[in-house]
C-alpha cells in the first residue's frame, strides 16, 4: 500500500487541472508552463524509476481508498504493478519530459492547452500501464486517445492535419468501443471487472465461445492502437501531421502501449484457461510478421521523413507482436528490451527531423538532399540513431531483436529470423539513406515522385521561419536519447533481469495471489532451464552483417541514377509496393472496412479453433 503508485498518475492530472484553472493568470507566462510540464514529466519518470527498481523484488498492489478485496472478491479498484509495466510507464514519462524540453524553443507561440494535453496524455499512458481493472484500462485508453487526437490536430491549418487527426480518432474510437463491448461481455460472464478476479473465474468455470469472442473484441482496440496490419492505416496519416514533440510520444510509446495491452489482458485473464497456444501463436505471429514486412516495404519507398519514420514504427510493432506471440518469457523479454531501445532511438530521430524542419523548413527528402550539411551535430545524432534503428550491436534494439530470434529458432521457427533480418535491412537502409543524402549530400537527389511533391509542398513549417541556429534545448534531448538507446544495450545483466520480470508477468497464478490475497510472491531469481540471454559471436556477426547490408542498400539507393545496369527492369512505378499502395487510401471509410475485415478474420481464426 504505497501511495507512490497513485502519485504517478495523480501528479500529471493535478498539474493539468491547475494549469487549466490558472489559465487566465498564466496566459503569456509561457516559460512557467513549459517548466511546470518538464518538471512534472521528470518527477513522474523519477517516481516510476523508483517503482521499477523496487518491484524487481515482487509485484506491488495499491487499492484506491483502501478498498481491499474480501474473500477473493475485489471491491475496489487497484493498480497492480510489476517491473515491466512500471518500466514502460517510466519510458513514457521520460519521452514526455524530453518532448517538453524540445518544445521550449520549438514553437514560436504555444497555447496553454498544449501543456494540458501533454500532461493528460502522460497520465493516460501511465494509468494504462499500471491499472489492474479492465474497465479502468478502457478509461485510461480513452484518456490517452482523446489527448492524442487533439494533439495531432494541434495545427489545423493544414488539410493533412485534419485528415490525420480524423482518421486517427475515428479508427481508434471504433476500436475502443469494440474493446468496451468485449469488457461488457466479460463482465456479464464473470461478474467482475478486476483482471485477476476475471482470470480466476474463467479458470474455474472454463472458457467457452463467449469468452473467446470477448477476448477478440478486447484486443481489437489494442491491435488498432498497436498499428498491426490490417489495422495500421491510421498511423502514417497521424504521424505525418502531428507536431514533432507529439510524434515522439505517438511513435515512441503509444503504439507499444497497444501491444502491452494485449500482453496484459492475455496473461492476466485468458492465458491460463484459453489453451490452444499453437493457434494463438500462429495467429499473432502471422499478423506480426505481415506487419513487419508491410511496414518495412512502405518505409523504404517513402520520401516524407515523418511518414518514413512512421512506417518504420509499424514494422517494429510487427516485430514486437511476433515476440509476444511466442508466449514464452524469453519471447516477451525480447520486445520489452526492444521497445525501450526503439523508443529512445525513434524519439531521437523524430527530434532530429524536428530540428531539420525548424532550420530548413521542410521534411521532403528530395528537396532536402544535401541541404542538411550545415547541421553537423544533428547529422551525427541522426546517423547514430539511424544505426540504432538498423539494430546495430550493441544498441538495445539489437539485443531485444536477438532474444526474439533466439526464441523463434529454439521453437523451430527460423522463418522469424529471416523476416526480421529483411525488415531490419530495409528500415535501416531507409534511415541511413536519409542520413547520407540529407546530412552528407551523398549520391543524387532521389527522383521526384509527383504525388510526394504535392504532399510535401503543402507542408508548412511548424515554426514560423527557417532559423539560423539549432537551440541547445533541441539537440541535447535528441543526443541524450540516442546515447540512451546505446547505453541501455550495454547494461550488464539486462537480459536475465527482464527475462525474470517477463516470467513473472506471464505467471497468472502469482498475479492472482498478489492482487486478490495480498500475498507477496517473490520474482524468480534464476530461470530454469536457463535460456541464453547473452550475445554470441554468431549474433554479433549477423547483426553487423545486416547493418552492412543496410548500408550497402542505402548507398545503392543514393547512387541509383548512376547505375544504369542495375536500374534496367526496376523503373519507378514497378516496385513491390505499387500494388498495395492503393490500400493506403487516406480515407477513413476504407480503414474502418479493413478493421471489420480484420476482426472477422482474427475472430474467425480463434473462435473456430478454440472451443
Partner 1 sequence: MQFFPFAVMAWILAVGLYGIVTSRHLVHQIVCLIVVQSSTYVLLLGVGYRRGAAAPYFYDIPVHTPAVDPVVQALALTDVVVEAAVTALLLAFAIQAQKRFGTLDPQELVQFKG
Q: Is 159 in the site for partner 1 (CB under 8 A)?
A: yes
Q: Is 157 in the site for partner 1 (CB under 8 A)?
A: yes
Give residue for cell 546515447. Answer: 483
Instruction: Kindly determine how many residues on this chain lie close enough to bind partner 1 according to the rule CB under 8 A.
Output: 50
Q: In this chain, which of 22, 30, 49, 158 binds partner 1, going by CB under 8 A?
A: 158
Give residue for cell 539560423. Answer: 468
Radius of gyration of the chain (CA): 23
**CA 276 centroid distance within chain:** 28
Angle at 94 between CA 93 and CA 99, to 5 degrees: 95
Min. distance of Cβ 164 from partner 1 in angstroms? 7
Longest dimension (CA), the chain: 76
**Of 237 and 531, CB closest to partner 1:** 237
Q: How many C-beta atoms surround the C-beta of residue 24 within 10 A?
A: 7
Q: Is 169 in the site for partner 1 (CB under 8 A)?
A: yes
Q: Is 458 in the site for partner 1 (CB under 8 A)?
A: yes
For the chain, the distance separating the N- and C-terminal CA atoms, rounded to the nearest angstrom, is: 40
Q: Which of these ranges, 19-27, 140-148, 328-336, 421-429, lies near partner 1 under the rule CB under 8 A?
A: 140-148
Q: Is 150 in the site for partner 1 (CB under 8 A)?
A: yes
CB 236 within 8 A of CB 584: yes
Q: What one-character-per-residue DSSP string does 401-453 give? A: HHHHHHHHHHTT-HHHHHHHHHHHHHHHHHHHHHIIIIIH--S-PPPPPHHHH
Residues 563-582 that bind partner 1 (CB under 8 A): 581-582
Q: How many C-beta atoms surround the C-beta of residue 445 within 10 A?
A: 16
Min. distance of Cβ 129 from partner 1 in angstroms? 19
Phi, psi angle pair for 582, to nearest 5°? -70, -15
Cell of 503: 516470467
Q: In this chain, which of 194, 338, 512, 584 binds partner 1, going by CB under 8 A?
A: 584
Min. distance of Cβ 307 from partner 1 in angstroms? 7
Cell of 378: 544533428
Cis peptide before 342 (omega within 30 of 0): no
Q: Which of these ranges, 89-97, 135-143, 356-364, 429-437, lies near partner 1 under the rule CB under 8 A?
A: 135-143
Q: In this chain, which of 205, 596, 600, 604 binds partner 1, going by CB under 8 A?
A: 596
Q: Taking CB under 8 A as the rule, which mask of x and - marks residues 232-271 in contact with partner 1?
A: ----xx--xx------------------------------
Q: Is 149 in the site for partner 1 (CB under 8 A)?
A: yes
Q: Which of these ranges, 162-170, 347-355, 384-392, 421-429, lies near partner 1 under the rule CB under 8 A?
A: 162-170
CB 557 within 8 A of CB 575: no
Residues 176-205 that bind partner 1 (CB under 8 A): 177, 180-181, 184-185, 187-188, 193
Q: Is 521 in the site for partner 1 (CB under 8 A)?
A: no
H or E, element range at 101: helix 83-106
**Of 166 and 527, CB closest to partner 1:** 166
Q: In this chain, which of 26, 77, 110, 170 binds partner 1, going by CB under 8 A?
A: 170
Cell of 140: 485510461
**Of 253 and 588, CB closest to partner 1:** 588
H or E, element range at 349: helix 329-360
Buried b (16+ CB within 10 A) or exposed e, 228-263: bbbbbbbbbbbbbbbbbbbbbbbbbbbbbbbbbbbb
Cell of 172: 481508434
Cell of 324: 509476444
Min. distance of Cβ 509 from partner 1 in angstroms? 26
Min. distance of Cβ 233 from partner 1 in angstroms? 10
Q: Is 153 in the site for partner 1 (CB under 8 A)?
A: yes
| CB within 8 Å of 443: residues ≥ 6 apart | 436, 437, 555, 557, 558, 559, 560, 562
What is the spatial distance between Cα 569 and Cα 574, in angstroms, rounded to a whole number?
8
Q: Is 146 in the site for partner 1 (CB under 8 A)?
A: yes
Residues 293-332 that bind partner 1 (CB under 8 A): 304, 307
Q: In this chain, which of 7, 32, 39, 592 binds partner 1, going by CB under 8 A?
A: 592
**Of 141 and 398, CB closest to partner 1:** 141
**Of 166 and 442, CB closest to partner 1:** 166
Q: In this chain, which of 29, 593, 604, 608 binds partner 1, going by CB under 8 A?
A: 593
Cell of 228: 498491426
Cell of 388: 540504432
What is the spatial distance between Cα 364 and Cα 453, in angstroms, rounded to a whole number?
8
**Of 180 and 413, CB closest to partner 1:** 180
Q: In this chain, which of 80, 89, 94, 174 binds partner 1, going by CB under 8 A?
A: 174
Q: Which of these ranges, 47-55, 323-331, 515-523, 589-597, lies near partner 1 under the rule CB under 8 A?
A: 589-597
Residues at the site binding partner 1, with contacts judged by CB under 8 A: 135, 139, 142, 145-146, 149-150, 153, 156-160, 162-166, 169-170, 173-174, 177, 180-181, 184-185, 187-188, 193, 236-237, 240-241, 304, 307, 451, 455, 458, 581-582, 584-589, 592-593, 596
Amino acid at each position: 500500500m504505497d501511495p507512490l503508485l497513485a502519485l504517478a498518475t495523480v501528479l500529471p492530472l493535478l498539474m493539468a487541472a491547475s494549469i487549466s484553472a490558472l489559465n487566465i493568470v498564466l496566459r503569456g507566462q509561457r516559460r512557467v508552463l513549459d517548466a511546470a510540464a518538464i518538471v512534472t514529466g521528470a518527477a513522474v519518470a523519477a517516481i516510476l524509476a523508483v517503482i521499477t527498481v523496487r518491484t524487481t523484488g515482487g509485484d506491488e498492489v495499491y487499492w484506491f481508498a483502501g478498498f481491499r478485496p474480501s474473500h477473493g472478491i475485489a471491491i475496489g479498484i487497484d493498480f497492480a504493478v510489476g517491473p515491466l509495466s512500471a518500466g514502460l510507464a517510466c519510458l513514457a514519462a521520460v519521452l514526455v519530459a524530453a518532448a517538453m524540453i524540445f518544445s521550449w524553443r520549438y514553437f514560436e507561440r504555444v497555447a496553454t492547452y498544449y501543456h494540458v494535453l501533454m500532461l493528460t496524455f502522460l497520465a493516460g499512458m501511465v494509468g494504462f500501464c499500471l491499472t489492474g481493472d479492465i474497465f479502468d484500462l478502457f478509461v485510461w485508453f480513452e484518456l490517452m486517445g482523446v489527448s492524442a487526437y487533439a494533439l495531432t490536430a494541434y495545427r489545423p491549418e493544414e488539410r493533412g492535419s485534419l485528415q490525420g487527426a480524423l482518421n486517427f480518432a475515428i479508427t481508434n474510437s471504433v476500436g475502443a468501443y469494440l474493446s468496451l463491448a468485449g469488457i461488457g461481455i466479460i463482465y456479464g460472464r464473470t461478474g467482475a471487472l478486476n483482471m485477476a478476479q476475471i482470470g480466476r473465474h474463467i479458470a474455474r468455470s472454463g472458457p467457452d465461445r463467449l469468452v473467446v469472442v470477448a477476448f477478440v473484441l478486447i484486443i481489437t482496440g489494442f491491435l488498432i492502437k498497436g498499428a498491426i496490419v490490417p489495422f495500421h492505416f491510421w498511423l502514417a496519416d497521424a504521424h505525418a501531421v502531428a507536431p514533432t514533440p507529439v510524434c515522439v510520444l505517438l511513435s515512441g510509446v503509444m503504439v507499444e502501449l497497444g501491444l502491452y495491452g494485449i500482453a496484459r489482458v492475455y496473461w492476466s485473464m485468458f492465458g491460463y484457461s484459453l489453451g490452444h497456444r499453437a493457434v494463438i501463436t500462429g495467429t499473432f505471429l502471422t499478423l506480426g510478421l505481415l506487419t513487419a514486412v508491410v511496414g518495412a516495404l512502405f518505409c523504404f519507398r517513402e520520401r516524407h521523413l515523418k511518414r518514413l519514420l512512421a512506417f518504420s514504427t509499424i514494422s517494429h510493432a510487427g516485430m514486437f507482436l511476433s515476440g509476444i506471440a511466442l508466449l514464452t518469457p524469453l519471447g516477451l523479454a525480447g520486445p520489452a528490451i526492444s521497445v525501450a531501445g526503439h523508443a529512445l532511438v525513434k524519439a531521437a530521430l523524430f527530434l532530429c527531423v524536428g530540428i531539420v524542419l525548424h532550420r530548413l523548413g521542410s521534411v521532403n527528402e528530395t528537396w532536402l538532399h544535401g541541404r542538411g550539411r550545415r547541421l553537423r551535430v544533428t547529422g551525427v545524432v541522426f546517423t547514430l540513431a539511424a544505426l540504432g534503428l538498423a539494430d546495430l550491436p550493441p544498441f538495445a534494439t539489437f539485443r531485444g531483436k536477438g532474444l526474439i530470434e533466439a526464441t523463434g529458432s529454439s521453437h523451430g521457427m527460423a522463418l522469424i529470423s529471416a523476416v526480421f533480418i529483411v525488415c531490419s535491412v530495409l528500415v535501416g537502409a531507409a534511415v541511413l539513406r536519409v542520413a547520407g543524402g540529407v546530412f552528407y549530400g551523398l549520391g543524387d537527389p532521389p527522383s521526384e515522385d509527383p504525388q510526394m511533391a504535392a504532399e510535401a509542398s503543402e507542408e508548412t513549417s511548424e515554426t514560423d521561419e527557417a532559423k539560423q541556429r539549432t537551440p541547445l534545448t533541441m539537440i541535447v534531448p535528441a543526443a541524450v536519447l540516442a546515447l540512451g538507446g546505446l547505453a541501455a544495450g550495454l547494461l550488464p545483466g539486462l537480459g536475465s533481469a527482464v527475462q525474470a520480470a517477463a516470467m513473472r508477468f506471464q505467471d497468472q497464478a502469482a498475479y492472482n495471489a498478489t492482487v486478490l490475497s495480498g500475498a507477496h510472491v517473490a520474482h524468480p531469481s534464476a530461470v530454469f532451464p536457463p535460456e541464453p540471454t547473452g550475445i554470441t559471436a554468431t549474433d554479433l556477426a549477423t547483426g553487423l552483417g545486416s547493418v552492412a547490408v543496410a548500408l550497402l542498400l542505402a548507398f545503392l539507393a543514393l547512387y541509383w541514377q548512376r547505375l544504369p545496369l542495375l536500374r534496367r527492369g526496376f523503373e519507378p512505378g514497378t516496385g513491390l509496393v505499387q500494388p498495395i499502395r492503393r490500400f493506403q487510401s487516406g480515407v477513413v471509410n476504407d480503414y474502418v472496412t479493413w478493421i471489420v475485415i480484420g476482426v472477422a478474420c482474427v475472430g474467425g481464426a480463434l473462435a473456430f479453433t478454440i472451443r
